[in-house]
Amino acid sequence: MNDRELQLATGMIDSGERRIGNLKLRPYTMGSMQLAYVLKLTMFTRGKDDPPLDLDDLEEQRQIMAFAWMQSADEDDIADAVRDDTVDRCVLKFSLNVTFDMLPGLMAEINRINAMLAASSVRVESKYPSSNDDAPGKS
């Protein structure tokens, strides 16, 4: 079993909640991935072929706090905040209770999830070359 297969297997088996300080983080799911796109959490949405992230400190902190909030807040509260466009306010209020000693644990969880996502990413490519000239209706 290579490293990628091991990371994928471990990620699929180890899908329980995580405790970091007083936070209880849900497993990272397909819904989490959708939220990461909605909340513009590039720590989770960039592809393996994308250039390395170059986030300023404020944006990095925003993404870490948004991640922690979306993985620990009540699901209805999250859905309401997205619908009402109050995510930033909710994340700010949430972050007032996140202490500095929790940051290494949050970063470790983010790194663990990123390794699992990288291991499970698949790029589908057509085995038949085509161009706009071969598109349906262009014959």
**pLDDT tens-digit profile, the chain (139 residues):** 666 556 555 555 556 788 898 999 999 888 999 999 999 999 888 876 778 888 999 999 999 999 999 999 999 999 999 999 999 999 999 999 999 999 999 999 988 888 877 766 655 566 666 666 665 666 5
Distance CA 28, CA 113 (A): 7
Q: In this predicted structure, what is the pLDDT of residue 13?
A: 53
**pTM metric for this prediction:** 0.72
Q: In this predicted structure, what is the pLDDT of residue 73?
A: 96
Q: In this predicted structure, what is the pLDDT of residue 122?
A: 54
Q: In this predicted structure, what is the pLDDT of residue 30?
A: 87
CA dihedral 85, 93, 26, 115 (to 10 degrees): 80
